[in-house]
Amino acid sequence: MREEPATQIEKFKSPAHPDPMISILILVGVITAVAMTERTVEHLPVAVAALFFNAAVLLLFMADAERAILLSGLLAAAITGISTVKFNHSALKLTVSDLPLAFAGTVPFFVLQYPRMMLGVLAGAVLFASVSIAIMLHAEGSAISIAYQIPLFCLALIGFAKACKSRQAASLRLNLTQGRCFYSTFMVSLGDPASWRQFGALALSDIANEPLPLREATPSRSACSPDIIVIQHESVFDPRIFGLPIEPGVEAFLSPPDGESGCLNVDIFGGGSWQSEFSLLTGLSSASFGSSAYYLFQKGAGRFHSSLPHSLTSLRYKTTLISSCRRGFLSYEKFYGSIGIEERIFADELPSPFDVRRFEATNSDAVFLNAVIDVHTRAIASDPTPRFLYVLTNFNHGPHSRQLVPPGQFESERAFAAASFPDAGYAEYYTRLAETASTWKKLKDKLASSAPGRPVLIVHYGDHQPVLTKQIDRHLKRPGHDKSRFRTFYAIEALNIPDFTPGPGADLDIAFLGTVALQRAGIALDPIFATRASLLDDCGEAYFASASERKRRFHRTLVDLGLIDLMPGARQAR
């Protein structure tokens, strides 16, 4: 029986037979949107290949092209959004290797430190879920049989695999600090076998085939070993890097007239303080471990057997960590124990009158550092053994939209900062820095009077710049370059060390700071640290960025000697 014309028209208009122009417009629209967010022509083929691959995967579940393409575009937008958030807070784009961090304690930390940002992420997630549901329920298009879905998937997979092996994809892996290609960078990391292998193993990117012979150990300059106190000042940088003025009190902290100071190059921006901690204590750049760099505390515990604490323990030092974080943060307890720090004290374990809940309202250095020095002075009063104390603060961590310095305190410093740079966030940063500088001046006097004549070397440094320096860059329109955001400060002071020579210091990479501290303390250097000290002339102010072949051979030596375990359980297997 013949169908009526009206029935034939309805059948043509049904979802099974849509206008092909609609499908084309959807595809063109999605590709255009991705191209606009990628902001590149050179890498667009990689992004399009990734887009088609995701659409082919979704097609296996959706069974129609229109919904698969729309959802693929929506997924690209979500990845771009999340990567942009990460980039704005770390100057590094999202890769697949970042995913384990979501389950390693960083999410609660970001909720506490960046509540507005996390609220925005939550709102974005709700919007993503809502739009996805709407597409699945109301955007049904032309059905494609399984006989076509499988070949389309295979073609898309082959195209994506070829794109991941292209020259453009290789350049994406090397340009994690560029503010573009967020989607394609993440998708290329998905297709990078090294990213998946490094979930279990570690891989050194700058390692030679031939080892470097180690130098002989360097003897100590004195029979008396000084205490060594290293303080990591969270998110502290020298405003003079940006041409901004500072007051005498802040200058005395950043560049002590009786100390040594200079610019410090670090591997991170905006967050990931543990990478700076790793570099200082192991003498290695976290960047050398590629996609594993951001979670070396999880993967690296028990796999680094040469470190600043290990070396000092061999010289009969007592080693202590005092952290402003609680014991459960990331894998701090496990990692620090594995690299030789015997005593580990966290904010929730500091003795009264320190109150961790009141402290966490502001993370004030005036409160925390006073408690730290009290713990240290009690320890040396009961035991004269030389001490290595590593202190992790958290006062100047962003966001700087919150006023943590109480009203009525350091108001002249706040006004000075506001006049120097018209930004409320910078004024808050500088005011917190002024409080830290004032606190340290008092505590240094307290430290000197608590043990008269006891030699002490104190090292201060900033672990990374805070996010607000992006605003400074934009406002000042500085030429800059990709590495300009990876510069902080270091300062070295001495109490009762006669041969310590104050003055301007050379610019350093943080991987060398621990070695320089040992040199300034005048204590013995074992063959590992003596060899690392010899690399200072080769590498200059850089470490990972240095093309030094001796550095690469040194890494081979560390691996060959079993001082770095690249594979899990490697030391037990030997």
| pLDDT single digits (tens) 527-556 | 999 999 999 999 989 999 899 999 999 999
Angstrom distance (rounded) from CA 495 to CA 455? 5
Contact 310, 337 (CB under 8 A): no
Q: Which helix (H) or strand (E) holds 31?
A: helix 20-38
DSSP for residue 410: S
Chain centroid, CA 154 distance in Å: 37
Contact 470, 426 (CB under 8 A): no
Polymer length in residues for the chain: 574
Chain mean pLDDT for the chain: 87
Pull the structure tokens for residue 361.
């309202």
Q: Could you tell me the end-to-end alpha-carbon distance of the chain, in angstroms, rounded to an integer?
A: 82
Angstrom distance (rounded) from CA 121 to CA 83? 11
Higher pLDDT, 152 or 323: 323
Which residues partner with 287 through β-bridges? Answer: none
Angstrom distance (rounded) from CA 416 to CA 482? 29
Which residues partner with 495 through β-bridges? Answer: 456
Average pLDDT over residues 149-164: 89
Please give the C-alpha separations between residue 223 and each of 313, 381, 383, in angstroms, as whole numbers.
16, 20, 18
| Percent with pLDDT over 90 in the chain | 56
Q: Cα torsion for 123, 124, 128, 130, to the nearest 10°?
A: 20
| Residue 112 pLDDT | 63
Closest among 513, 488, 415 to 254, alpha carbons compared: 488
Whether 35 shows a pLDDT value over 50: the answer reads yes
| pLDDT single digits (tens) 264-285 | 999 998 888 999 999 999 999 9
| pLDDT single digits (tens) 46-81 | 889 889 998 889 988 887 888 888 999 999 899 999
Whether 44 shows a pLDDT value over 80: the answer reads yes
**Rg of the chain, C-alpha, whole Å:** 27
Contact 482, 177 (CB under 8 A): yes
- Any idea where the domains of the chain sit in the sequence? 5-197, 227-573
Cis ω before 239 (30° cut-off from 0) = no
Q: Is 105 left (phi over 0), alpha (psi -120 to 50) or beta?
A: left
Angstrom distance (rounded) from CA 263 to CA 488? 6
Angstrom distance (rounded) from CA 367 to CA 324? 11
Angstrom distance (rounded) from CA 250 to CA 246? 6
Pull the structure tokens for residue 350.
């500091």
Confidence of residue 295 (pLDDT cuts 50, 70, 90): confident
One-letter amino acid of 420: S
Angstrom distance (rounded) from CA 83 to CA 78? 8
Contact 246, 254 (CB under 8 A): yes
Residue 16: partners with Cβ closer than 8 Å, 6 or more residues away: 142, 143
Closest among 399, 487, 391 to 439, alpha carbons compared: 391
Angstrom distance (rounded) from CA 486 to CA 237? 10
Closest among 505, 25, 434, 44 to 265, alpha carbons compared: 505
Q: Which helix (H) or strand (E) holds 129?
A: helix 115-138
| pLDDT single digits (tens) 329-347 | 888 999 999 999 999 999 9
Other Cβ atoms within 10 Å of 243 Cβ, number: 11
Tell me if the pTM is above 0.85.
Answer: no
Closest among 344, 396, 320 to 365, alpha carbons compared: 396
Angstrom distance (rounded) from CA 311 to CA 289? 23
Lowest average pLDDT, out of 18-27, 159-168, 201-210, goes to: 18-27
One-letter amino acid of 442: K
Cis ω before 100 (30° cut-off from 0) = no
| pLDDT single digits (tens) 103-133 | 555 666 666 666 777 888 889 889 989 988 9
| Residue 15 pLDDT | 45
Q: Could you give the 3-state DSSP secondary structure of residue 263?
A: strand
Angstrom distance (rounded) from CA 264 to CA 287? 15
Pull the structure tokens for residue 94.
């999202």
Whether 7 shows a pLDDT value over 70: the answer reads no
List helix spans (H) across 139-218. Answer: 146-164, 167-174, 182-190, 193-197
Closest among 130, 14, 13, 144 to 69, alpha carbons compared: 144
- 151-160 LR contacts (CB < 8 Å, sep 24+): 152/56, 152/59, 153/56, 153/57, 153/59, 153/60, 155/56, 156/49, 156/52, 156/53, 156/55, 156/56, 156/57, 157/53, 157/56, 159/49, 159/52, 159/53, 160/49, 160/50, 160/52, 160/53, 160/187, 160/191
| Residue 194 pLDDT | 58
| Residue 573 pLDDT | 41
| Residue 113 pLDDT | 61
Higher pLDDT, 149 or 235: 235
Confidence of residue 26 (pLDDT cuts 50, 70, 90): confident
Angstrom distance (rounded) from CA 216 to CA 212? 13
CATH fourth-level superfamily of 227-573: Alkaline Phosphatase, subunit A (3.40.720.10)
Half-sphere exposure of 63 (CA within 13 A, CB side): 6
